[in-house]
Structure 1
Amino acid sequence: MVLAALLLSPVAAAEPIEFEMEDIDGKQHKLSSYRGKWVLLNYWATWCGPCRQEMPDLDELHETNEDVVVLGINLEDASSRKLKMFREQYSISFPLLKSSADADGINGPIQKLPTSYLLSPDGEIAGYQVGTITREAIESYIDKQAK
């Protein structure tokens, strides 16, 4: 399957990624506070059909893997109220961070949604996926890295 091969196209090693963003409940999330865990940064929007399609899988990944954190970064100018309604509708348990439609991703402009970056436990970009991603593909990638 192309997805499994594409997941997590490697990215040149760099310094650990750092940012601090607010979620839709007003809580600050500092990326360095998740060191020691794999972090999936998922860029999405409420109007994006493929984004909505992958949400249940990403939520299951977040809920069932204690070594993985999913952070959803919303790339639209949506109100917290709208995003909270979306979270409730899709039963999302992972943090939804607010950004704006013209914001860049951690590695430059986001060209297509959804786009996901997987950060290693040391905070470096391990790889990325443009388009939908599955829980199984992420778990498989992480398992291979552990061997």
Structure 2
Amino acid sequence: MTLPSLTLSLQFADPRHRADLPRHKVIRWLRHALALPGEITVRIVDTEEGQALNRDYRGKDYATNVLTFDYAREPVVSADLVLCAPVVQAEAAVAGKTLQAHYAHLLVHGALHAQGYDHEDDEAEAERMEAREREVLATLGFADPYA
């Protein structure tokens, strides 16, 4: 299977989180989620930045796990994915998942949003998105994130 190419900018608001997300793994996870070549920036932020972005762009005044800002879907998927490290860490602990498994899920989830998948308004589309997430994560060796 030939995977799409990916140009990745990986940014850390706090460099202590760099060890949680090795670049080669982020590239692998995102390439498996992409149907077309991608130009993606992944930024790992703290609670304050995550909350400000969620408030300013979604009108929700709390930090969320992942935000997707998609700019183009064809011929190249162009997007920014913003993950809030403290939220991701807390969710992984509560769910009993490894931090890497949760980051992989959220990066796949964000990449699918960048390609037009949605789970907010349509139950059938939500099921289609979750099925694709399960498929990609299984290919990567991760358990069903919804089990």
TM-score (norm 1): 0.27
- Bigger relative contact order (CA 8 A; separation at least 6): 1
Higher helix share: 2
